[in-house]
Amino acid sequence: MKKTTFLYILLLWPILNFGQKKDLNLMPWPQEVEIGKNKLVINADFTIGINQESSKRIELATTQFLRRLANKTGVFLKNGFAQNTSSIDNPTVEVSYNSIAKLELYEDESYQLKVTKNKISITATTDIGIAHAFSTLYQLINNDADFYYIPEITISDSPRFTWRGLMIDCSRHFMPIHVLKRNIDAMALVKMNIFHWHLTDDQGIRIESKTYPELHEQGSDGLYYTQNQIKDLVRYASVRGIHILPEIDVPGHASAFLTAMPEISSVPGNYLIERNAGVFDPTLDPTNEKTYEVLTNLFVEVTALFPFPYFHIGGDENEGKHWDESKHIQQFMKDNDLKTNHDLQTYFNIRLQKILKKENKTLMGWDEIMTDEMPKDVLIHSWRGKNEGFEEGGTQIKAAQLGFKTVLSNGYYIDRMQPASEHYVVDPLSTATLTKAEEARIVGGEATMWSELVTPLTIDSRVWPRTAAIAERFWSAKEVTDVENMYQRLNGVSNNLETIGVLHIRNKEVILKNITNYQNTDALNKLSAISEPFKVYSRNVDGTEYQMYSPLTLFADACTSDAVDVRMFNELVSNYVSKKDEVSKNILIDYLSSLKNINDKLKEISKNAPLVKRILPYAGRISKIANIFEIALKNKNMTKKQYVELIALLDKKENTAINLDVELALTASLKKLAASFFRKKL
Amino acid sequence: MKKTTFLYILLLWPILNFGQKKDLNLMPWPQEVEIGKNKLVINADFTIGINQESSKRIELATTQFLRRLANKTGVFLKNGFAQNTSSIDNPTVEVSYNSIAKLELYEDESYQLKVTKNKISITATTDIGIAHAFSTLYQLINNDADFYYIPEITISDSPRFTWRGLMIDCSRHFMPIHVLKRNIDAMALVKMNIFHWHLTDDQGIRIESKTYPELHEQGSDGLYYTQNQIKDLVRYASVRGIHILPEIDVPGHASAFLTAMPEISSVPGNYLIERNAGVFDPTLDPTNEKTYEVLTNLFVEVTALFPFPYFHIGGDENEGKHWDESKHIQQFMKDNDLKTNHDLQTYFNIRLQKILKKENKTLMGWDEIMTDEMPKDVLIHSWRGKNEGFEEGGTQIKAAQLGFKTVLSNGYYIDRMQPASEHYVVDPLSTATLTKAEEARIVGGEATMWSELVTPLTIDSRVWPRTAAIAERFWSAKEVTDVENMYQRLNGVSNNLETIGVLHIRNKEVILKNITNYQNTDALNKLSAISEPFKVYSRNVDGTEYQMYSPLTLFADACTSDAVDVRMFNELVSNYVSKKDEVSKNILIDYLSSLKNINDKLKEISKNAPLVKRILPYAGRISKIANIFEIALKNKNMTKKQYVELIALLDKKENTAINLDVELALTASLKKLAASFFRKKL
Q: What is the mean pLDDT of chain A?
A: 94
Report d(CA B648, CA A48) in Å as an integer.
46
Rounded to whole angstroms, the Cα distance separating A419 from A424 reads 9
pLDDT digits (tens, 9 = 90+) for B237-270: 999 999 999 999 999 999 999 999 999 999 999 9
The confidence band for A23, taking pLDDT boundaries of 50, 70 and 90, is low
Looking at the predicted structure, is the pLDDT value of residue A495 above 50?
A: yes
Say if residue A9's pLDDT is above 90.
Answer: no
- The SS3 call for residue A674 is helix
Å from B393 to nearest chain A CA?
Answer: 38
Query: For residue B233, is pLDDT > 60?
Result: yes
The minimal CB distance from A71 to the residues B73, B221, B551 is found for B551
- Residue of B56, B70, B553 lying closest to A74 (CB–CB): B553
- Helix crossing, A616-635 with A582-606: angle to 10°? 150
Q: A483-499 and A56-73 are packed helices; what angle lies between their axes, rounded to 10 degrees? A: 90
**Choosing among B23, B460, B510, which should be mutated to test the A contact, i.e. which has the most A CBs within 10 A?**
B510
CB atoms within 10 A of CB A483: 14
Is A14 in a helix, a strand, or coil? helix
Q: Cis check for the bond before A28: say yes or no (omega within 30 of 0).
A: yes
- Residue B18: pLDDT above 60? no
pLDDT of residue A431: 63
Q: Give me the domain span that covers residue A574.
A: 513-676
Closest chain A CA to residue B456: A501
Q: Which of A70, A177, A551 sits opposite B75 (nearest CB)?
A: A551
Closest-CA distance, A193 to chain B, in angstroms, reads: 23
Cα B449 to Cα B430: distance, rounded to the nearest angstrom: 23
Task: Please give the single-letter amino acid code of residue A67.
Answer: R
B623-B628-B631 Cα angle (round to 5): 120
Candidates A126, A112, A102, A123; CA nearest to A49 is A123
**Omega of the bond leading into A286 within 30 degrees of 0 (cis):** no
Decide if pLDDT at B432 tops 70: no
Cis, peptide link before residue A246, omega less than 30° from 0: no
Set of chain B residues whose Cβ sits within 8 Å of the Cβ of A614: 74
pLDDT digits (tens, 9 = 90+) for B563-594: 999 999 999 999 999 998 899 999 999 999 99
Return d(Cα B490, Cα B471) in angstroms, integer: 11
**d(CA A517, nearest CA chain B) in Å:** 9
Over residues A70-89, the pLDDT tens digits come to 999 999 999 999 999 999 99
Using the beta-carbon criterion (under 8 Å), do B76 and A551 form an inter-chain contact?
yes
CATH number at residue B94: 3.30.379.10
Which of A72, A507, A546 comes nearest B514 by C-beta?
A72
| Residue of B218, B499, B602 best to disrupt the A interface, most CBs of A under 10 A | B499
Q: Quick count: other Cβ atoms within 10 Å of Cβ A536?
A: 11
Q: What is the mean pLDDT of residues A191-204?
A: 98
- Look at residues B124, B141, B157 and tell me which one is the last residue of a structural domain: B157
Size of interface A-B (CB pairs under 8 A): 167
What band does B431 get if pLDDT is binned at 50, 70 and 90? low
**Is residue B100 in some structural domain?**
yes
pLDDT of A461-493, one tens digit each? Answer: 999 999 999 999 999 999 999 999 999 999 999
Q: Could A7 and B520 be called an inter-chain contact, meaning their C-beta atoms sit closer than 8 Å?
A: yes
Spatial contact of B531 and B555, defined as CB atoms under 8 Å apart: yes
Residue A551: which of B71, B514, B611 has the nearest Cβ? B71
pLDDT at residue A297 tops 70 = yes
Judge whether residue B389 has pLDDT over 90. no
Please say which residue of B125, B157, B189 terminates a domain.
B157
Straight-line distance from the first to the last Cα atom of chain A, in angstroms, rounded to the nearest whole number? 39
Mean pLDDT on A362-367: 97
Distance from CA of A616 to the nearest CA of B (A): 13
**ipTM of this complex prediction, to 2 decimal places:** 0.94
Instruction: Report the percentage of chain B scoring pLDDT > 70.
Output: 96
User: Does the structure show a pLDDT above 70 at A13?
Assistant: no
The number of helix segments (H) and strand segments (E) in chain B equals 26, 20
8-state DSSP, A265: B
Which CA distances in Å does B388 have to A33, B382, B393, B410, B429? 60, 12, 11, 10, 19
Residue B42 lies inside a defined structural domain of this protein: yes
DSSP states along A621-645: HHHHHHHHHHHHHHHT---HHHHHH
* A114 has a pLDDT exceeding 70: yes
Around Cβ A96, how many Cβ atoms within 10 Å? 15
Sign of CA dihedral B640, B644, B647, B650: negative
In chain A, positions 485-544, which contact chain B (CB-CB < 8 Å)?
492, 495, 498-499, 503, 505-507, 509-510, 513-515, 517-520
pLDDT in tens, A422-446: 999 999 997 668 899 999 999 999 9
Asked if pLDDT for residue B66 goes beyond 60, the answer is yes
Nearest CB among B67, B228, B549 relative to A228 is that of B228
Give me the mean pLDDT over the B360-387 stretch: 94
Report yes or no: B172 at the A interface, CB cutoff 8 Å. no
Tell me how far CA of residue A135 lies from CA of A30, A189, A190, B21, in angstroms. Answer: 12, 5, 7, 51
CB spacing of B659 vs A73 below 8 angstroms:
no
Q: Quick one: average pLDDT of A20-49?
A: 90
H runs (alpha helix) in A42-141: 56-73, 127-140
Q: Which residues from B are below 8 Å from A275, CB to CB?
A: 80
Strands A93-99 and A200-201: unpaired
Residues 568 through 587 of chain B touching chain A, CB cutoff 8 Å = none
Distance in Å, alpha carbon of B446 to nearest chain A alpha carbon: 27
Q: Is B20 an interface residue toward A (CB < 8 Å)?
A: no
Residue A498 counted as domain residue: no
Start-to-end Cα distance in chain B: 39
Q: Using the beta-carbon criterion (under 8 Å), do B72 and A659 form an inter-chain contact?
A: no
Contact B81 A221 (CB under 8 A): yes
Within a domain: A644: yes
Question: Residue B16 above 50 pLDDT?
Answer: no
Q: Is residue B108 part of a domain?
A: yes
Q: What integer is the mean pLDDT of B441-455?
A: 97
3-state secondary structure A339-398: CCHHHHHHHHHHHHHHHHHHCCCEEEEEHHHCCCCCCCCCEEEECCCHHHCCCCCCCHHH
- Could you tell me if A622 and A652 are in contact, meaning their C-beta atoms sit under 8 angstroms apart? no
- The answer to whether A221 contacts B181, with C-beta atoms less than 8 Å apart, is no
Share of chain B above pLDDT 90, in %: 90
- A551/B509 touch (CB, cutoff 8 Å), yes or no: no
Q: Which residues contact B544 (CB under 8 A, 6 or more apart)?
A: B276, B277, B278
By DSSP bridging, strand A243-247 and strand B163-169 are: unpaired
Confirm if A524 and A515 have CB atoms less than 8 A apart. yes
Closest residue of chain A to B77, computed from CA coordinates: A550
Residue A199: Cβ within 10 Å count? 22
pLDDT-derived band at B656, boundaries 50, 70, 90: confident
Distance CA A231, CA A211 (A): 17
Burial (CB count within 10 angstroms: exposed 0-12, middle 13-18, buried 19+), residue B83: middle
Residues of B in contact with A524 (CB under 8 A): none
Task: Tell me the sheet residues that pair with B342.
Answer: none
Q: What is the mean pLDDT of chain B?
A: 94
What pLDDT is recorded for position B3? 43
- One DSSP character per residue, B114-152 reads EE-SS-EEEEEEEHHHHHHHHHHHHHH-EE-SS-EEEEE
Instruction: Indicate which of A488, A550, A604 best probes the interface with B, i.e. most B CBs within 10 Å of its own CB.
Output: A550
* Residue B11 pLDDT exceeds 70: no
Judged against a pLDDT cut of 50, whether residue B495 lies above it is answered with yes
Amino acid at B506: R
- The answer to whether the Cβ–Cβ distance between B549 and A70 falls below 8 Å is yes
Residue A413 lies in a domain: no
Q: Compute φ and ψ for A583, nearest 5 degrees.
A: -60, -50
The predicted structure's pLDDT at residue B2? 40
Residue by residue, DSSP assigns B413-445 as: BGGG---HHHHHT--TTSSS---HHHHHHEEEE
Return d(Cα B247, Cα B174) in angstroms, integer.
15
Residue type, A602: L
CA distance to A28, A473, A484, A496, A555, per residue, from A490 (Å) = 10, 13, 10, 10, 24
Query: Which of A157, A174, A194 marks a domain boundary?
Result: A157
Domain count, chain A: 2
Cross-chain Cβ contact A549/B66 below 8 Å = yes
Strand A194-198 to strand A243-247: parallel, antiparallel, or no bridges (unpaired)? parallel
Q: B46 in a domain, yes or no?
A: yes
Identify whether B286 is part of a domain: no
Which pLDDT value is given to residue A606?
Answer: 97
Q: What angle do CA B353, B354, B358 make, to 5 degrees?
A: 115
